[in-house]
Amino acid sequence: MSRTIFFEVEILDSRTKEQLCFLDKVDPHSTIGDIKSLFHKSYPKWYPSRQSLKLDPKGKALKDDDVLQSLPVGTTATMYFRDLGPQLGWTMVFLAEYLGPLLIYLLFYFRVPYIYTHKFAFTASPYPVVSLACGCHSFHYIKRLIETIFVHRFSHGTMPLRTIVRNCVYYWGFSAWLAYYINHPLYTPPFYRDTQVNYSLMAFVLCEAGNFSIHLTLNNLRGDGPKSRRFPSPNKNPFTWLFFFVSCPNYTYEVGAWVSFSIMTQCVPVALFALLGFIQMTIWARSKHRTYTREFKDYPNLRMPILPFVL
């Protein structure tokens, strides 16, 4: 009859190397998430989502589903703790990041007092593209809210408060900046007028539909659970055929939507927002592409991270 060998887990502060907790008789099948819960009992202020545990102070954080006995440790494991700071749930995250820009833009569109000088307080732009731009901007963020509630699945249940503040400054600030110019009474329509607006609108709608299709495909890919690892592939939906050429077509369509919006409005702040978004999404796409090529030996060689045949 086999005898269970229990582990001992010592948790040290990653900066001072001071011992914070010593866990005796830990089941070898315990996960890092279980250890975080045990640590939380000794330090209630550090709830599990606020904890980062590492085997080396400068190493990578351990995942919650890592099993203790599968780690490169002996029966006495030393882990290093780092406080990730206050965390907020994803409900607050998407309300802050996506609902904020939606409402801020509408404040400018509906001419809330004191936004513009008294001379223009009750003067609205007569051009239809202004209302069209408001509709497109609102649609984009309403779609994001719906996707966050019903489509997206997050690998982490919370986000650090400092990250949320940074993201809100970015989204809210740009939303106010571009809304100020597009809804300004002195705003002038694009150079090629209706032709430029109509073609840009069609491209915007196609990109938004493509982005939504990719998010649905990625959500269905995770339907079999985290243990069933597969890379995304095209299906019968034509919008997913971009998977033949890029690893992250959701970012490709996202960038396309903002480029279309900037051409539609011919507004410099929108173009700058699209450029910065493209840079950030390229970083994310490259990281995801490297993960795919590392994990799957049969990953298609033709695919690029975000732009077909280019990048």
Instruction: For the chain, give the DSSP string.
Output: ------EEEEEEETTT--EEEEEEEE-TT-BHHHHHHHHHHH-TTS-GGGEEEESSTTSPPPPTT-BGGGSS--SEEEEEEEE---EEEHHHHHIIIIIHHHHHHHHHHTT-TTSS-GGGTT-----HHHHHHHHHHHHHHHHHHHHHHHT---SSSEEEHHHHHHHHHHHHHHHHHHHHHHTSTT----TTHHHHHHHHHHHHHHHHHHHHHHHHHHHHHGGG-TTS-------SSGGGGGGGTBS-HHHHHHHHHHHHHHHHHT-HHHHHHHHHHHHHHHHHHHHHHHHHHHH-TT--TT-BSSSTTT-
pLDDT at position 1, please? 46
User: What architecture does CATH give domain 7-85?
Assistant: Roll (3.10)
**Which residues in the chain are classed under CATH 3.10.20.90?**
7-85
pLDDT tens for the chain, 311 residues long, are 456 788 999 999 999 999 999 998 898 889 999 999 999 998 998 988 889 999 998 888 898 888 998 898 888 899 999 998 888 777 677 778 899 999 999 999 988 777 887 776 666 778 999 999 999 999 999 999 999 888 876 655 677 888 888 999 999 999 999 999 999 988 999 999 999 999 999 999 999 999 999 999 998 886 555 445 688 999 999 999 999 999 999 999 999 999 999 999 999 999 999 999 999 999 999 999 999 999 899 999 999 999 999 98
